[in-house]
Structure 1
């Protein structure tokens, strides 16, 4: 066994890399986040190098004039370039030279509209409106002399030609971008387009380039799937409608879902990323961009068992020319600007963080009465946060806890009592204990769901202290984004450790969210949206989730027997909610164990009273809580003995900056060590350098944000900090709690601070 000095040396070396390693996670497929970011940077660099002096890019199609320039501009913006960057600004100036009649091309006008909407839509609103008007007029109608009304062909001047799925998908993308920029589109345009896609779908769920062709392809099936979603948002609503503030036919908002599911099933059974099924290597990158759009819009993380983004990213990283930074395909995708733009659109847009997992549960289909509820809420939050966010459907009974952890929020609703098997219930409990949050509502105020949900959470959280209770008027959720009160919309919640981990609405939210695209100004829709935003902001602390290539690793903290020479930490029991962050120490110790050099630690802390004789074997005793506390005389005497020269260290922090705990801890130290008050630990103290450099710790928004040294205080005995205290939270952060009201540090910074304190406590 290593000696204590060898253990300390290993720990010093291991924690030195914690700053970078704490945020990193292993990748399931053969691609990493860093590789994808490098590919995106190299692709952006290549495209910038190809820009011509007038701000344009050479067009792959001579008659499109601006098609490639619009596509490249959209790709650059999606990859993170700002509208005021020199290259994008020059491209937008170039595009503004051309109106729709100058272009007379469905592809070019749709792509130009998407570029304007992605850059500075408020400045180009009139141009976007003119483009939308051109696209509306170019749609093939029933009285035109060609078949397939609802579709588009290459231009208005070519309306004697039948339409096709490719032009139609891009026309819809342009119109959808116009709507998102604030330009209305005629309802009959959406309805007619939807009819086209429904009628042209094959019996197996796939689509061909033209309805009379039997040659179906993956690219056209992706086009059909995403077009069904787009034309189904604010265009078709099933039987559900608003009558003032009331929902008629509540919960019957699904429309056209059978064709959608058939398309999903076809893509799952024919899934490939190395080629465009049905068309080989032709339009491979066009297909991958379509796959990204289909997966994202439909809320699909897995087509069958295939993680479409991870596998597609692996394919693209492998395909990229390492020296030049470009992608190159066949035929028109032999134009490197085109292929590179499609690749960047897949990589950059497809990796968008997942905000909410919509939970599938039994009875069959009851979880999806309102298919656009979560989609619309996430869209509102995306606009508010000014960052693209996505959602996905997950079945908690068949998914892993790691799958659930890819989003910070799990949403559950329905009309009937929700049915989850034992594995699903266990996964939900583990998800919460790993930092997750559950949001639920009774669709249409269903009494059956209300009773069933209460029974479900009792099964998931059987302990008496974890009960659904009405949220009080002073709960931070009421002021997380909008100023609301329980009188506006009562909510219930469950407190677990540092935070509220479940928020439940016994009355409807989801049906109103489902109507948000169609009736955004309806007072009931506005209120439900505000409530949803407040819940999301409270649950996340307005912190962006990691992108899809950052895997949150589920930890298994099963009890283990202590072993000789391993580092152990004691957690002190007291009468003031002493165990609000039960996984704080295991998370910290797991990080110390997992990093290179693998420091020998005991994962689980030892819970004990100060008077426990075995305290002498624990160099660090941790004290945490959110309420006032006190110890009896025997406990205080034992702690004084523990802190005598050459003894142990007490480390304390106030859960989420709790004022009650802070005041109690200061009284505790004054009584424990009279005449030796706590003082700020100076910034040049070895504590701040002993492992990681703590000069740039990130504070949460509730603690003022920004980066600086942590605010630590302490008491020295014989030249050693025997007491170390933080009035800002560390313990809850170690559990990845990111509630809006939690005053403390981010997870990565909390790991560094706590690791330094652990190291310091072991030094002679």
Structure 2
């Protein structure tokens, strides 16, 4: 639906335009109309008539829906690209020539970085000619210079034409800035930094600041005086109510977003000092408060792009009470043209639909980028270095060309929401005095697969000792923080770090649950110190924690639910499983079986009941399948061995698994099997064994499985389940997995785990349990195999910890041939 501009705003714009045209003395009145109307009129005021998207639709919004919308928008822009003119609609003599192409390229290149769409690579047939066109433009307007820099710096190329174009745009941005830090539409190129107290507006002024930031990303030098002027302007023109206006008058949402986004950038270069106590920017605080009280995520795409910049710069998921990204994305998708895939209108006076479509894509794409470090807000000096997390994420994004976001989470919030990022960053000095409830939330985060990374601001020993106590409480006293040896992968997973950095860690034997730096890395993060020694190593350490926690895989978790969906229909069978307790046994991931239970309930329509049982008390009538896991050597008393033989003769099955692919456990398991079954040796269980044939109720027909990188180092051709067993009377009574399944069941992607990928582990375990403890009735339903994309679980959106979609029928789930990643 196209928006309607109220009469009084149309009249105000119409009255103002001749004045602007006269002052500019240019032929670009059409684009001036666009810029002025989007800033002064409906976009600044957020007045758009549109059908409201329901709260239920917003809550149900998925990553898949957003990516589909993005894809349709990209197709629209590529379809409307014109040879030689690309997305321009004016004349080469216009001041704003190149502006629409800059905006469209900026959006398309951002989408390409996020989605990996090969059509949007800088050297692709669709993008490369447009980039060459852009590099030849000499900007004559603030919007053009800023947007051209934004587009060119998505993929910095470093070639001579690139450097020349960046230099021209940077020169415009630096010299067109007024003496008081403001900007207007154009600059005549004669007198730099003029004193023009009346010829300014906050729409152009925000794009001037954004252009300077983009220039720095391209390697250009922006002098400190630029940021001091910008700070003077934005602080001096803030309204008493905390908001900003276009050029005097009442505060508006679009211009308040402009003021906040600009001050966040200003603070990064003017107020990057290192402190131990928070020094909040009260102008930003007042602006956020105004925005929270007046925020609406309507369909003004210019305003929404500004709102997105505020949300990402602040690390806030909610501004006021509104989840700004989810609400805004819902409105944008609902406004998308169902036929063309573009957005028509929603930027008043836009010369083409490329403008609103580009703004829509920027909002959807940049806000969708994954969060890697959630920073914990607690009652203490958690924010003494307010830009530490933002600078870490930006540095990793720049170095690895993988756009990332950051976010603040409050200790009072639901810890399940913290898992939108794999790492929780805790900083501070002194004792944080976490309560029992706080510790319980940290424990939930860790048990669900999260990694905690803490830094002692100022190298404070009191904070380090307090963190060590909290870490031990999180693990219920099982583990503790210890100095990590030089061979620990945290020192080498991506960058080789000197061991004298002195990192500490708490491991459960499978992965590091907590990494702590007793030396102050946060000072370098806050000041963006990339000097060759301590500063750069601080960023590399953060990057290593990131790559360790994610297993060096691309993170795409934004908007992915971690909880399993609710199964539809009653279960068709119940599997009763004994979790064997024995001396030396260990399952370091307590959520592995709850996650597997939920997977089987949805995917296999089986109800898994798991309960701890002593090894010497197994009863096949009560628990026909028993699971025994460990990572160390173990010894079984001969009387217990005799009991196990009786358990197996009575129809029980023993499923053994080496935690982390432990060689020690496997040696002990082989010895145990040899003592329990004298003269017998473990033999491989190969495809197509009936365990994986999909012949039992709810089972998954496996044709191929996938392993993690560490396993593939020693088993490079492995594509079949690696199981070994003892067969008696035609059935497997002992099944042993040398490859780790525990991490996979938990959904972990941590580096250096020796075993199956997550979805393969869950499927292998499900098939073993259904074979050993499920109904033996063969299904007589014939269905075609359901193809599963690489890295994808059955029914999920992508290769993350999100779970399969619920089975919609109540009858037994039919077997499917699945290539599990």
TM range, normalised to the smaller chain?
0.7 to 0.9
- Does the residue aligned with 2:151 lie in a helix, a strand or coil? helix
Does residue 72 of structure 1 match 2:76?
no
TM norm structure 1: 0.85
**CA displacement, residues 716-762 of structure 1 (integer Å, 9 cap, x when unaligned):** 32332333332221112212333212112232222222222222222
Shift of 1:564: 12
Shift of 1:436: 1.1
One of 275, 293, 298 as aligned partner of 1:274: 298
Equivalents in 1 of 2:368, 2:647: separation in Å?
Answer: 51
Mark the CA change 1:28 to 1:758 in structure 2 (over 3 Å): closer, same or farther. farther
* Corresponding residue for residue 472 of structure 1: 485
Equivalents in 1 of 2:399, 2:664: separation in Å?
Answer: 34
> Is contact 2:575–2:769 with CA below 8 Å preserved after alignment?
no
Mark the CA change 1:440 to 1:113 in structure 2 (over 3 Å): closer, same or farther. same
> Is contact 2:111–2:361 with CA below 8 Å preserved after alignment?
yes
* Corresponding residue for residue 16 of structure 2: none
Mark the CA change 1:629 to 1:528 in structure 2 (over 3 Å): closer, same or farther. same
TM norm structure 2: 0.79
> Is contact 1:358–1:393 with CA below 8 Å preserved after alignment?
yes
* Corresponding residue for residue 166 of structure 1: 203
Does residue 306 of structure 1 match 2:301?
no
Does residue 315 of structure 1 match 2:331?
yes
Q: CA RMSD in A?
A: 2.6
Equivalents in 2 of 1:696, 1:564: separation in Å?
Answer: 26
> Is contact 1:574–1:630 with CA below 8 Å preserved after alignment?
no
Mark the CA change 1:295 to 1:470 in structure 2 (over 3 Å): closer, same or farther. same
* Corresponding residue for residue 126 of structure 1: 164
The count of corresponding residues between Structure 1 and Structure 2 is: 691
Equivalents in 1 of 2:64, 2:97: separation in Å?
Answer: 36
Shift of 1:333: 4.0
Structure 2: gaps of 5 or more residues? 1-55, 113-119, 777-821
Equivalents in 2 of 1:750, 1:290: separation in Å?
Answer: 43
Equivalents in 1 of 2:58, 2:622: separation in Å?
Answer: 40
- Does the residue aligned with 2:736 lie in a helix, a strand or coil? strand
Does residue 489 of structure 1 match 2:513?
no
> Is contact 1:358–1:392 with CA below 8 Å preserved after alignment?
yes
- Does the residue aligned with 1:725 lie in a helix, a strand or coil? strand
**CA displacement, residues 584-632 of structure 1 (integer Å, 9 cap, x when unaligned):** 222101222245x843332xx2222232043442222112122112211
**CA displacement, residues 505-531 of structure 1 (integer Å, 9 cap, x when unaligned):** 222111121122xx3125221222222
* Corresponding residue for residue 502 of structure 1: 514
Does residue 332 of structure 1 match 2:349?
yes
Mark the CA change 1:620 to 1:36 in structure 2 (over 3 Å): closer, same or farther. same
Aligned pairs for 1:209-220 (under 5 A) are 209-210=246-247, 213-220=248-255
- Does the residue aligned with 1:220 lie in a helix, a strand or coil? helix
Equivalents in 1 of 2:738, 2:202: separation in Å?
Answer: 61
* Corresponding residue for residue 130 of structure 2: 91
Equivalents in 2 of 1:611, 1:37: separation in Å?
Answer: 53
Shift of 1:286: 0.7
- Does the residue aligned with 1:119 lie in a helix, a strand or coil? coil
> Is contact 1:154–1:167 with CA below 8 Å preserved after alignment?
yes
Shift of 1:52: 0.4
Deviates more, 1:122-131 or 1:187-196: 122-131
- Does the residue aligned with 1:156 lie in a helix, a strand or coil? coil
Mark the CA change 1:420 to 1:205 in structure 2 (over 3 Å): closer, same or farther. farther
**CA displacement, residues 271-302 of structure 1 (integer Å, 9 cap, x when unaligned):** 21125xxxxxxxx1011111111111111111
Higher relative contact order (CA 8 A, sep 6+): 1
Mark the CA change 1:170 to 1:188 in structure 2 (over 3 Å): closer, same or farther. same
Shift of 1:555: 11
Does residue 356 of structure 1 match 2:373?
yes
Shift of 1:668: 2.4
Shift of 1:340: 0.7
Does residue 650 of structure 1 match 2:659?
no
Does residue 702 of structure 1 match 2:718?
no
Aligned pairs for 1:225-304 (under 5 A) are 225-238=260-273, 240=274, 250-251=275-276, 257-274=281-298, 284-304=300-320
Equivalents in 1 of 2:141, 2:232: separation in Å?
Answer: 23
> Is contact 1:592–1:601 with CA below 8 Å preserved after alignment?
yes
* Corresponding residue for residue 410 of structure 1: 424
Structure 1: gaps of 5 or more residues? 1-25, 142-148, 241-249, 276-283, 557-562
Aligned pairs for 1:42-61 (under 5 A) are 42-54=72-84, 56-59=86-89
Mark the CA change 1:678 to 1:59 in structure 2 (over 3 Å): closer, same or farther. farther
**CA displacement, residues 651-692 of structure 1 (integer Å, 9 cap, x when unaligned):** 222222222122222222233333332233223223334233
> Is contact 1:351–1:547 with CA below 8 Å preserved after alignment?
no
